[in-house]
Amino acid sequence: MVILLDPTAHLKLISWRSFDPLNERDLTESFIRVDPLVLRSARGRCRFLPVCRTYIAPADSSSSTRRSRCGTGGMFSCLKDKVGEVLVPGDEFSFQADDTISLSGPAKPEKVVCGPGLRRSGDRLLVSKSGVLRHKQPNVFWIDSQQRRYVPAKGETVIGIVTAKSGDVFKVDVGGSEQASLSYLAFEGATKRNRPNVQVGDLVFAQFIIANKDMEPELVCMDSSGRANGMGVFGGGGLLFTVSLGLVRRLLSPHNEVRADLEQLFPCELVVGMNGRVWTRASTVQQTLIIANLLQSCDTMTSQQRQQLFRRVQQGAL
Amino acid sequence: MAAGFKTAEPLEYHRSFLKENCRPDGRELFDFRTTTLNIGSISTADGSALVKMGNTTIICGIKAELANPTVEAPDKGYIVPNVDLPPLCSSRFRPGPPGEQAQAASQFIADVIESSEVIKTEDLCIERGKLCWVLYCDMMCLDYDGNILDACIIALLAALKNTQLPEITINQETCTPEVNLEKRHGLHIHKHPVGASFCVFDHSILIVDPTAEEEVLSTAQLTVVTDEEDRLCSVHKPGGTSLSGEKLQECISRATVRQREIQKLIDKVILSVKTMH
Amino acid sequence: MMEVCGSSNVTLREFGCEQSLLSRPDGSASFVQGDTSVMAGVYGPAEVKVSKEIYDRATLEVLIQPKVGLPSVRERSQEQCVRETCEAALQLSLHPRSSLTLILQLLHDDGSLLSCYLNAACMALMDAGLPMNCLFCGVTCAINKEGEIITDPTAAQEKESRALMTFAIDSTERRVMMSSTKGSFSVHEMQRCIAVSQKASEKIFQFYRDSVRRRYSKTL
């Protein structure tokens, strides 16, 4: 996503995707000041959004009978109690079979959507990554962990480096275990005659259309309606650097403090890829470097420390 | 049909047997393969033994050399075990320097020798601080079909029992050792360590003496080495799925029974070799 | 057969840990037990060599680097123990055809080295955010001449001991994932050591949790 930060003007979002939205409400909230056209296309892309991999949903009749015997608390409230806490792999939640059958009618089947770091095994929910348990209404849970290595996921937008041209596709390094492929037709307005101008070494901002563990990941530089929507090859200038994946997700989440703090500094362009790569360009090289250094140090600071540092920078300490 | 099933779904193929408490080669879960032992098969070595457990074949040769003891341990000799898994024995091994499995096996055998005190290294000293024996114990796998650790320990133990060292006298005038090849004497074997290896299938089912195929499909391996006094010399489980204390106990009980069987086998073979001469 | 040791308190040397202290690896940790200190780094899931590619799971490589010189046969055998323990704890099938590399650098050895390797490995894997079934920890027990069990012995205590056992305990069921022993001992002694290790593992797992919590305290 490309974010134009300009303290004098409004925050302008050219395109937007937040980490784990699932529901459009958050999207619309963050789009209040955004060009209506972009908003529409972003909504149109919502079919890409879900990051969930497992559902705990009524699957067959035998399991639903057991679920109806779950206590009023059950897994859902167990999970909710732990939201915001740090969990480690091996922690588990289970349906506690309640011996007293509810007389007030069949209990409503619980539906829990698991995001990254949670995995279903039988009627237990296992934690497989260390991190903070997060929750999003109504029933989405995931583990927010700080890792450095990127694992491609469908629908996520990333910054890639073109490493090779082979026939009809470009090979793009996105920091995952395998290079992703990007067809030369997957650009806005590209046809067999009218090829996009992409060279080896170029940076591209693209979105995963295929990403699963068994296949080569595939990128596209346009949305479902065929528009570039902020994606494509980067222009000259600017600086690419990497930060942790946790920071990237924080940067992209709605109403983020880091971004708000950054807005106060000076105007700059910021492109954030879900693979931990961030590209920035400000009016001078010095300012570009300041932003890069600030963001890279954000991981190891508390919010007070960060605000202090940002204030010092604003006062011209650097 | 069965062959196709085995190739396509090896795990399911084994599971269908384990469900009936038996294994594809007709054994029950806690049965070892037939173990055969031949002693003194290499005439040029100071001691040797050939062990076959099913298809797994290990030959062990012991070569004794004279050396100077180290300064830290002037009254001790050394034992240098080495396990070789050449490309000959299985397609999984490539030519070149020994792989991880061979090195880990060598280390395991060295640990077992040290822990069990099968031979006291003091016995290998000829003259304190000046001369001692080095026993090079080379175990070579001729046919790899799983469970080489058990076979290696049996081969080593039998070869050590077969070893005859020549008598050494030190000439007082020249201070040089004189070797009397005519007069030989055996080694003093203090303990009889014997191993029993297990595999864990599907995180719960224990089987003993796994074949190469079973080893690949298993989720964990365990080797228990016990001596004749029922003391444990090694409980080696290099990882894999976890086992409870109770399951370990089962393995240890089986290992002690196995120790008796193998010690009887070795004694029988040695006796038969003696009566033949 | 299972028996809890007489003294309810299991004494471990002071241990400490720091996560993500290296900038290049995808996950890193240093683990200190008394004077024994190990640094671990994890790379992956990354591209895999074709010769080492496994079609349905990730390839895990463990490299142990001694303080001086090249790794010997002993390191190889320790590598095997650490690798197979990690393989059982990790969900490798989620990253097929990729490689994971775990490098363990010995900084100082003052006894209980294998357990320190295991603890550092677990923290580094957790730091890399790799999917895991459970955590594991290593506990070393020494039995001295008097038959007493010493947990987490120093190098001097190891030398005087009659038997030495290292166990890896998993965090879900507290069962034995790995076992490596030296010296001879009775069945009863081993079961006692397992019970002691299981007890000690509680402390270590609590420590793991605390240090992860400390790490995430800034983002809470």
Report, as ranges of residue numbers, the positions in chain C whose pLDDT lies below 70. Answer: 1-9, 220
Using a CB–CB cutoff of 8 Å, tell me whether C133 touches chain B. no
Test mutation, A53, A114, A119, A130, chain C, max C CBs within 10 A: A130
User: Average of pLDDT values for A102-121?
Assistant: 71
Using a CB–CB cutoff of 8 Å, tell me whether C41 touches chain A. no
Å between A216 CA and nearest CA of chain C: 11
- The whole-number pLDDT of residue A34 equals 28
- The whole-number pLDDT of residue A18 equals 39
User: Average of pLDDT values for A151-161?
Assistant: 94
- The whole-number pLDDT of residue A74 equals 65
Digit-coded pLDDT (tens) for B93-145: 999 999 999 999 999 999 999 999 999 999 999 988 889 999 999 999 999 99
Task: Tell me whether residues A148 and C220 touch, CB distance under 8 A.
Answer: no
Using a CB–CB cutoff of 8 Å, tell me whether A300 touches chain C. yes
Q: Which residues of A touch C219 (CB under 8 A)?
A: 132, 144, 146, 246, 250
Q: State the Cα–Cα distance between residues A220 and A205, nearest whole angstrom.
A: 9
Task: Tell me whether residues C181 and B236 touch, CB distance under 8 A.
Answer: yes
Q: State the Cα–Cα distance between residues B130 and B11, nearest whole angstrom.
A: 57
- The whole-number pLDDT of residue A2 equals 53
- The whole-number pLDDT of residue A57 equals 29
Whether chain B lies against chain A with 3 or more Cβ pairs closer than 8 A is: no
Instruction: Please name the chains neighbouring B, where neighbouring means 3+ C-beta pairs under 8 angstroms.
Output: C
Using a CB–CB cutoff of 8 Å, tell me whether C162 touches chain B. no
CATH superfamily of B25-276: GHMP Kinase, N-terminal domain (3.30.230.70)
Closest CB to C181: pick one of B106, B110, B235. Answer: B235
Give backbone dihedrals phi and psi of B99, rounded to 5 degrees, phi first: -80, -175
In chain C, what's the furthest Cα-to-Cα distance?
54
Confidence of residue B153 (pLDDT cuts 50, 70, 90): very high
Name beta bridge partners: B59.
B50, B140
Closest CB to C191: pick one of B107, B236, B245. Answer: B245
Task: Tell me whether residues B231 and C184 touch, CB distance under 8 A.
Answer: yes
Using a CB–CB cutoff of 8 Å, tell me whether C63 touches chain B. no
User: Average of pLDDT values for B81-89?
Assistant: 96
Q: State the Cα–Cα distance between residues C140 and C150, nearest whole angstrom.
A: 8
Helix axes A303-314, A285-297, angle to 10 degrees: 170
Using a CB–CB cutoff of 8 Å, tell me whether C170 touches chain B. yes
Å between C217 CA and nearest CA of chain B: 32
Q: State the Cα–Cα distance between residues A34 and A38, nearest whole angstrom.
A: 7
Digit-coded pLDDT (tens) for A166-190: 888 999 999 999 999 999 999 998 9
Higher pLDDT, A23 or B115: B115
Q: Which residues of B touch C91 (CB under 8 A)?
A: none
Task: Tell me whether residues A88 and C135 touch, CB distance under 8 A.
Answer: yes
Q: State the Cα–Cα distance between residues A203 and A32, nearest whole angstrom.
A: 30
Residue of chain C whose alpha carbon sits nearest to that of B193: C184
- The whole-number pLDDT of residue A39 equals 28
Task: Tell me whether residues C176 and B115 touch, CB distance under 8 A.
Answer: no
| pTM for this prediction | 0.86
Note every long-range contact of A101-109, with CB atoms under 8 Å and residues 24 or more positions apart, other chains counting. A101/A68, A101/A69, A102/A68, A102/A72, A106/A68, A107/A67, A107/A68, A107/A70, A107/A72, A109/A57, A109/A58, A109/A64, A109/A67, A109/A68
Task: Tell me whether residues C176 and B104 touch, CB distance under 8 A.
Answer: no
Q: Is B273 helix (H, G, I), strand (E, B) or coil?
A: helix
| Residue B157 vs residues A66, B48, B61: alpha-carbon distances, Å | 58, 10, 11
Q: For chain A, which domains are there?
A: 2-50 (no CATH), 54-144 (2.40.50.100), 157-234 (2.40.50.140), 239-314 (3.30.1370.10)
Please state, as a whole number, how many other Cβ atoms lie within 10 Å of the Cβ of residue C138: 32
Using a CB–CB cutoff of 8 Å, tell me whether B104 touches chain C. yes
Using a CB–CB cutoff of 8 Å, tell me whether C195 touches chain B. yes
Q: Has residue A263 got a pLDDT over 90?
A: no
Task: Tell me whether residues C175 and B243 touch, CB distance under 8 A.
Answer: yes
Higher pLDDT, B194 or A114: B194
Instruction: Locate the domains of chain C by residue range.
Output: 15-218
According to CATH, what is the number of the domain C15-218?
3.30.230.70
Digit-coded pLDDT (tens) for B12-37: 999 999 999 999 999 999 999 999 99
Å between C43 CA and nearest CA of chain A: 8
In chain B, what's the furthest Cα-to-Cα distance?
78
Higher pLDDT, B272 or B174: B272
Please state, as a whole number, how many other Cβ atoms lie within 10 Å of the Cβ of residue B65: 12
Q: Which residues of B touch C86 (CB under 8 A)?
A: 239
Q: State the Cα–Cα distance between residues C38 and B37, nearest whole angstrom.
A: 45
Q: Has residue A45 got a pLDDT over 70?
A: no
Q: State the Cα–Cα distance between residues B213 and B2, nearest whole angstrom.
A: 16
Q: State the Cα–Cα distance between residues A173 and A179, nearest whole angstrom.
A: 5
Among C residues 110-169, those touching chain A with beta carbons less than 8 Å apart: 126-135
Helix axes C113-127, C73-89, angle to 10 degrees: 40
How high is the ipTM of this complex?
Answer: 0.90
Q: State the Cα–Cα distance between residues A179 and A174, nearest whole angstrom.
A: 7
Mean pLDDT over each residue of chain A, to the nearest integer: 74
Using a CB–CB cutoff of 8 Å, tell me whether A67 touches chain C. no
Q: What is the DSSP letter of C185?
A: B
Task: Tell me whether residues A213 and C95 touch, CB distance under 8 A.
Answer: yes
CA angle in degrees (0–180, nearest 5) for B177-B180-B184? 120
Instruction: Locate the domains of chain B by residue range.
Output: 25-276
- The whole-number pLDDT of residue A237 equals 87
